[in-house]
Structures are given as C-alpha cells and as structure tokens.
Amino acid sequence: MPSIAAQPYEYDLPTDSEVALIVIDMQRDFLELGGFGAALGNDVNLAQAIVPTVKQLLEGCRSLNLPIFHTQEGHQPDLSDCPKSKLKRGKGNLTIGDQGKLGRILVLGEPGNEIIPELAPLPGEILIPKPGKGAFYNTDR
C-alpha cells in the first residue's frame, strides 16, 4: 500500500477509492514579502514554513501519479468578480487591485498571483482560479 510520510506516522493511501491532492493558494501574494499577506501585516515567514512540507507531499503524490489540483485566489483585472466587502477588508496600506511590489494585489495574471516556483503546477496538473476563499465557489471548473 503506498504511503506518504507524515507525523505522527505515515499516512497509508486508500487503494479502494480515488485519491487526489489539492494544494490551496500557495501564491506569491500570500507567501512573499511585498505581497498581500505582508500588506495586511501578516508575518509571511510563518506562512513560508509550510512550503518544504507541502513540497514533500506534492513530490510524493507526483511519484504515485495521483491527480493534483492547485487553487489560486485571484480576481479579474477589472475586479468585477470581487465583492465590495472583500475590497474594504483589512486595514493595510494596500488592498485587492492596488499596485504592490509584486504587481496588482490578488489580480489574475499578475506576478504576485503566481504559485510560488517551488510548488508550481506541472503539465497535466489542474490550476483552478477562484475569486474567493472557497476552493470551488464560482470557479469555471
């Protein structure tokens, strides 16, 4: 039975059902200085601490040829899919759509909206852009 290294013990993958990995919002805007997370006052170093673990899990699932999905929170350049309440959230100097050090904050296609290189999707892995926190709300998939 294939397993994935985990704590406190290895996780045995079920063999009688389909298993997939979903990697959620591992974007530069959330994990790097100059992104939205930092603009909100978050310590992105704390968020970055999970990256090696996610990378190990991702590599393990890839080695088992499991389906892999990545989500990416972001909005259309005109912000037409961003609720007004979300635009007003937070007390940072920058908000969604503003120009930041990594491009426009949480806007699809901007450098800060990209998945970090260490966890970037490979060909055949599905990237699901989404306009909110929910991984499957209002997506095109």
In a domain? residue 94: yes
* CATH number of the CATH domain containing 15: 3.40.50.850
Distance CA 104, CA 112 (A): 7
In a domain? residue 140: no
Q: What confidence tens digit (pLDDT) does each residue in 98-121 have?
A: 999 999 999 999 999 999 999 999
Number of domains in the chain: 1
Which domain does 44 fall in, by range? 3-130
Q: What confidence tens digit (pLDDT) does each residue in 1-30 have?
A: 677 778 899 888 776 667 889 999 999 999
In a domain? residue 135: no
Q: What confidence tens digit (pLDDT) does each residue in 38-66 have?
A: 888 889 999 999 999 999 889 988 988 88
Percent of all residues in the chain with a pLDDT value above 90, rounded to a whole number: 56
pTM over 0.75: yes
In a domain? residue 138: no
In a domain? residue 30: yes
